[in-house]
Every structure is written in C-alpha cells, then in structure tokens.
Amino acid sequence: MLATAQDAVKVHDRTLTALAGAFATRGHSLFLVGGSVRDALLGRLSHDLDFTTDARPEVVTGILDEVASTVWDTGIAFGTVSGLIHGMTVEITTFRADQYDGSSRNPEVTYGTSLDEDLVRRDFRGNAIALELSADGAHELRDPLNGLEDLVNGVLDTPAAPEQSFHDDPLRMLRACRFASQLGFEVAPRVQDAMTRMAAEIDRITVERVAAELDKLMLGAEPWTGLDLMVATGIAAHVLPELPALQLTQDEHRQHKDVYAHSLQVLRNVTELEGRLAGDPEEAEDAEALDHRRLVLRWAALMHDCGKPATRAFTESGAVTFHHHEVVGARMTRKRLKALKFPKKTTEEIGQLVFLHMRFHGYGEGAWTDSAVRRYVTDAGDLLPQLQLIVRADCTTRNKRKAARLQRVCDDLDARIVELKEKEDLAAVRPELDGNEIMEILGLAPGPEVGKAWAYLKELRLDRGPMEHDEAVAALKDWWKDQDL
C-alpha cells in the first residue's frame, strides 16, 4: 500500500516538491493530509489536494502568491487558502485545534501547534494520515493514529471516542455511510453503536449538507451498502424515511416480495447497467452531465417503489396489490426531494421516472401499436435511456423463465423504438402545423382556442404518425367544425 501511495504521489511530485521547497524556505513544514493521503494509499489520488501546515494563513497566502497562478482566500476565516499550481487545485489549512459548542457543526476556529493535534480532530483514522513533504522528494508518512491499519482492514473508526466525534459534528455519521458506499469499508462496531444511539443528532445538520452527502453516497461504487447502514443505524428515518418504510411486515399467508431488498437490488442492477448511458465515445458528454444522468437514474431506481407501503391492499383471495403505487410514489419522491432542497430539474426528472416505471408492463410482446410506442417515447423524453434501464433493472425475480421473458420484451420494445426512430423524429413529435398556420387557416386571433387546436393536432400526430401538410389541414378543419364554440 505504501508503494501504491508513492507511485500515486510521484505523478504530482513537480507540484509537491515545489510547494515543500517554498514552505521550507520560509521555515515551515507542509503535509499532504486527509482524503488526499487516503486516496493515494488506495491508488486513487485525485487532482484536488489538501494540505496542512504550521504556517498561519497570511504566510500561506504570501507563499502561494509566489508559486501559484491563481490564489483565492474564500476560506481564510477557517484558516484555508487555495491556489492553482500547474493546473492543479490545492487547499492549504493551518493546523487546527477546533472547539465545538455542541449545537452547531461549525467549530470555533482555533489554530493548533502540532500535526498530531490537527489529525486527532479529523473524522476517521483513515483520513488522519499525513505525508510530510520534502523539497527533495523524500516524503515521509506520518500516522500517529494507526489509520493505515484501518485502510488495510477496510474499517472506518474514529480517532477519539465516536460519541465525542459525532457530537462535535453529526454529519460525520452520514459521512461514514458515504465512505461505506465509496470505499466498500465497514464501520467499527463501536462506531455503528454510537451512530445508532445518536441518529437523531443528524437533525442538527442543514438539509443542504445532508443532500450533498446523500448525492455523494449515491454516486459511490456500492450505494446500497451505505444506504443499508443508514437504515440499520436509524439515520435514514431522519433524512430519508421513505427508505426504511419499505421494510413491510411479511405475512406467511399473504407473502409478497421484500420491497426494501428489492429496491436495493434494483439500485444495484442499474449501477451495473448504467455504462450504457455513456453512448457513443466519439460523442461523449462531459463528466458532470453524465454524473447527473447517473444520479437521476440511481435515485429513481431507489425510489421507484416507495409508494407501495401506502398502496398495499389485500384481495379476498389473499393476493397483495399495490394499485397506482407509481403515482403515489412519484408524489412522495417529489415531496422528499423538495424537502432536501434538490434542484427543481433533478426533482422533476427523478419523479417522472418513478411515475413512468410501470408503463412498460402494459406492453406485452409486440402488443403496443406504433401510436402507443410514440406516446411512451414522448412522455419519457430525454429520460428514455434511464427509463429503459430501470425497466430492465426492475426484474429481480429468481424465476429464470420469467426473467428471460421480461428481458426479451425489453429487447423487443427497444427494437420497436429504433425502428420508429428510423422512420420519424420521435425526439421532437410536433404537429405538422404551428400556431401561426392554425390561426391563418381557422381565422383565429391568439387565444386559448389556438392552444386547443395545437393540442388536438399533437394527439393526432401521436396516433397516426407523420402526415402530409394537406392531410393535417383537412383534419384541423374537420375538428373545428365539431367544436361547440
């Protein structure tokens, strides 16, 4: 693991040695620290590096002014100065020995006097490892809290007692769930025990911070692991109560699928399938846009059945039904995401996927008309790729014959969509006549009647497919004659 870290750091040695030399010239030490060292040890060092130093912020600013192309001090109130060096973003924070008041996660900033004092205040021991930088490249690992052992064992444990750590900053409990998702680590028993007893403390954290952590968790390698930890410790009951609510009591005579386990499995399935979202490598979208599409897909997969607890009913024969759970679930999803202050566009996209996820089950093998396929594609819009992946991922049955049939039907619908797209532009299904033409043909002034006429032509376009201009004009005139205006 140490060799892995050395190899990862060497990639950035030009920057690291230059920085170390600049600080040494001023009589100060510089340490790569926190997640940067952890990721280097795990062989995944990023281009955003975090440092700590004994130099005070005004000294750090002076040093960066000499070696960085850009310097900004938006975090200087917390002892942090940032810069851009050789195209790399660096954040340098003066040793801290913060004090917490027990009601806010924002500490009273107090500068520390030693590296050990700075490391012990950090969230987890695996994030409390430092690399002392040298101008000659002979960097030295500093690990006073045995964080390296935790990384080797895949464990998340706190430097001090977890009760104190989580009381200081309850967000650390949610960060534990996020790291479980990103790294595949397990939490130490004492940490999970403290999280369980202190779950309600998460209510001290703003919804914006909670939402940011949830998104990071959802984009992790194993989001189902972090979510399961949230549920097991009771944290989910405070930040995402719809998730533990899926743990419906099973009745031996009225059995149905474990909705909670099913939802996590669907999330796992879409995570395995989402590579298809990338599309043609030659037309690849930027990483941020692709991450947004992945995030929307994963959230929709997780929430797709959240309406089932509210709609569960039993027939006289003992069968279980969840009628219109997609409608209820879409409403619940939008309500929760709005409470978490998600962006409006993201909220609507996730809600729409939850609303549409059952539409496919009316398809049957080739049973839909071309008109029905057009409506399916039009209603999904830009979300069609994600919707089709959720449909595939939603098949978690152990019945191999049933699973094969469902996948065959998915393949058939995909082929139908491709076939129709080759004949017409399904991405922009619009009437053959625009508003101006409608007004001219019917002798109308701008008003609601024009909108009604346009909507009629849109429905006609979906039913019939592309029409000739004269055919559309005739249809419009016939429709107009029947209007009671």
* pLDDT tens-place string over residues 140-153: 999 999 999 999 99
Tokens coding 186: 């397990």
Q: Cα–Cα distance between 345 and 338 in angstroms, integer?
A: 11
For 2-151, CATH number out of 3.40.50.2300, 1.20.58.340, 1.10.510.10, 3.30.460.10 equals 3.30.460.10
Enclosing H/E stretch for 20: helix 13-25
Q: What is the pTM of this model?
A: 0.84
- Give the residue from 105, 152, 93, 95 showing the smallest Cα distance to 126: 152
- Give the residue from 104, 114, 135, 160 showing the smallest Cα distance to 23: 135
Q: What are phi and psi of 146, to 5 degrees?
A: 60, 35
- pLDDT over threshold 70, residue 282: no
Enclosing H/E stretch for 51: strand 48-53
Give the pLDDT score at 45. 75
SS3 71: strand
**Length, in residues, of the chain:** 485
Tokens coding 26: 């001023």
Confidence of residue 251 (pLDDT cuts 50, 70, 90): very low
Residues 46-76 as b/e (b if ≥16 CB within 10 A, e otherwise) read eeebbbbbbbebebbbebbeebbeebeeeeb
Q: Cα–Cα–Cα angle for 24, 29, 33, nearest 5°?
A: 135
- pLDDT over threshold 70, residue 429: no
Tokens coding 362: 């009316």
Residues of the chain with CATH 1.10.110.30: 162-239
Q: 463 vs 332, which has greater pLDDT?
A: 332
Q: Return the beta strands (E) in 158-255 as ranges.
A: 186-187
- pLDDT over threshold 90, residue 165: yes
- pLDDT over threshold 70, residue 104: no
Rounded to the nearest 5 percent, the helix, strand and coil shares of the chain are: 60, 10, 30
HSE (CB half, 13 Å, CA atoms) of 412? 16
Residue whose token pair is 């990483």: 287
Q: 321 vs 177, which has greater pLDDT?
A: 177
Concatenated DSSP letters of 392-441: HHT---S-HHHHHHHHHHHHHHHHHHHHHHHHS-GGG---SS-HHHHHHH
* Other CB atoms within 10 A of residue 198 CB: 19
Residues of the chain with CATH 3.30.460.10: 2-151
As a whole number, mean pLDDT of residues 169-195 equals 97
**CATH C-level class of 162-239:** mainly alpha
Residue whose token pair is 């469902």: 406
Give the pLDDT score at 254. 47
* Other CB atoms within 10 A of residue 138 CB: 10
- Give the residue from 72, 47, 77 showing the smallest Cα distance to 61: 72
Give the pLDDT score at 426. 60
As a whole number, mean pLDDT of residues 166-190 equals 96
Tokens coding 338: 């709005």
- Alpha helices, DSSP H only, in 68-170? 115-119, 147-153, 162-168
Residue whose token pair is 């390698």: 221
Confidence of residue 180 (pLDDT cuts 50, 70, 90): very high
Give the pLDDT score at 385. 92
Q: Cα–Cα distance between 420 and 431 in angstroms, integer?
A: 17
Q: Cα–Cα distance between 409 and 367 in angstroms, integer?
A: 10
Q: Cα–Cα distance between 468 and 471 in angstroms, integer?
A: 5
Burial class (CB in 10 A: 0-12, 13-18, 19+), 173: buried
Q: Cα–Cα distance between 163 and 180 in angstroms, integer?
A: 19
- pLDDT over threshold 60, residue 281: no
HEC secondary structure over 169-184: CCHHHHHHHHHHHHHC
As a whole number, mean pLDDT of residues 281-286 equals 57
SS3 185: coil
**Cα 88 to the chain's mean position, in Å?**
25
Confidence of residue 280 (pLDDT cuts 50, 70, 90): low
Q: Cα–Cα–Cα angle for 183, 189, 193, nearest 5°?
A: 110
Average pLDDT of the chain?
87
As a whole number, mean pLDDT of residues 376-385 equals 88
